Amino acid sequence: MNQGLEWHLRGFYAVVSIDGEGGEVAAALALAEQLLAGGAAVLQLRMKHASALRLYEVALALRTLTKRARVPFVVNDRLDVALAVNADGVHLGQDDLPLAAARVAAAAARLKIGVSTHSPAQAEAAARAGADYLGFGPVFATTTKANPDPVQGVDALAEAVRRAAPVPVVAIGGITLARVADVAATGAAAACVISAVCSASDVVAAGRAVAAAFGRR
Per-residue confidence (pLDDT) for residue 214, from 0 to 100:
96
Question: 67 an active-site residue?
Answer: no
Global model pTM greater than 0.85: yes
Per-residue confidence (pLDDT) for residue 145, from 0 to 100:
66
Query: Which residues, at least 6 apart from 201, have a Cβ–Cβ distance to it below 8 Å?
Result: none
Query: Which residues, at least 6 apart from 188, have a Cβ–Cβ distance to it below 8 Å?
Result: 136, 157, 161, 169, 170, 171
Of the residues 63, 78, 116, 163, which is catalytic?
A: 116
Using CA atoms, how far apart are residues 10 and 63, in angstroms rounded to an integer? 20
Using CA atoms, how far apart are residues 98 and 47, in angstroms rounded to an integer? 20
Instruction: Count the alpha carbons within 13 Å of 201 in the hemisphere toward its beta carbon.
Output: 0
DSSP-based three-state secondary structure for 173: coil
Per-residue confidence (pLDDT) for residue 50, from 0 to 100:
85
Per-residue confidence (pLDDT) for residue 81, from 0 to 100:
96
Question: 145 an active-site residue?
Answer: yes
Of the residues 10, 46, 179, 208, which is catalytic?
A: 46
Q: Which parts of the chain register pLDDT below 70?
A: 1-5, 20-23, 144-147, 217
Using CA atoms, how far apart are residues 156 and 162, in angstroms rounded to an integer? 10
pLDDT in tens, 143-201: 766 667 889 999 999 999 999 999 999 999 999 999 999 999 999 999 999 999 999 99
Contact 25, 61 (CB under 8 A): yes
Per-residue confidence (pLDDT) for residue 3, from 0 to 100:
47
Query: Which residues, at least 6 apart from 107, have a Cβ–Cβ distance to it below 8 Å?
Result: none
Task: Count the Cβ atoms, other than its own, within 10 Å of residue 178.
Answer: 9
Domains of the chain are: 11-213 (3.20.20.70)
